[in-house]
Amino acid sequence: MTPSRPAPFRFRDCALTILSLGRSAQNLRELRDGIAIVTASSISHHFLEGLLKPAFDDPEYRNDFAMWARRHLHDNILAERLGGIDPMDYEDVETLRQQALDVIEDRLAEIPYVPSVRPGREFFFLQSHRVILDTGLQAATPAELGAQIPRLPAGSIFYHFIEGRRRSPSRTDDFSTWLAEWGEGCARGRKRLVSIDFHLWSLTELRARIARCLRDLPAKETPA
């Protein structure tokens, strides 16, 4: 009996509503104290949702803590250490929070003073709520999935390729998970997707790279 075809892939989009927590940090110790007590949503926002915020440049570091350390504290060592924290490596936000605190504590123990910033350069703690939207787009075959990628809004790339890894127990993006249902003909595309490090690229750059990975997917394939 011929295996049934997987359900079509439905493309979602997401946007952020951002709220201020009314807390700021003017020096590294205050940053540490803030990270210790702000909501889990705030930690997640500053480590991951920065990719969804409008920006005029492509920063070297993707999380807000690392960018503030480099740009305003002018501490490149701390920025590198904070920037090296991959939120995908942690099972929950509390473990991620503790890793950030450990990095800052170690840095405070190394330096003879507490670095601070001038007024107007404080770190402002924020939190965000994600709004998930249905784009109305879908793909019935692997080839259609690849063809739709260049048309997607940046929020769709974030939702399916980055946030999808947090939702999946196997830490797999939504595209790869769906393609796995289509058999070995899609294995090359899935392997290419795994090789993309989302930390290195903006969402528009990620969209172009994902499109290249999936441009030669089969129009028809026997489902797994």
Sequence ranges of the domains in the chain: 9-13+138-213, 14-127
| pLDDT of the residue at 179 | 95
| pLDDT of the residue at 56 | 43
Q: Shortest CA distance to 47 belongs to which of 133, 146, 117, 128?
A: 128
| pLDDT of the residue at 181 | 93
Low-confidence ranges of the chain (pLDDT < 50): 1, 56-58
Tell me how far apart the alpha carbons of residues 18 and 127 are, in angstroms, rounded to a whole number: 6
Note the pTM of the prediction, 2 decimals: 0.80
3-state class of 131 per DSSP? strand
| pLDDT of the residue at 219 | 66
| pLDDT of the residue at 55 | 55
Residue type, 64: D
Exposure letters 105-141 (e unless 16+ CB within 10 A, then b): eebbeeeeeebbbeeeebbebbbbebeeeebebebeb
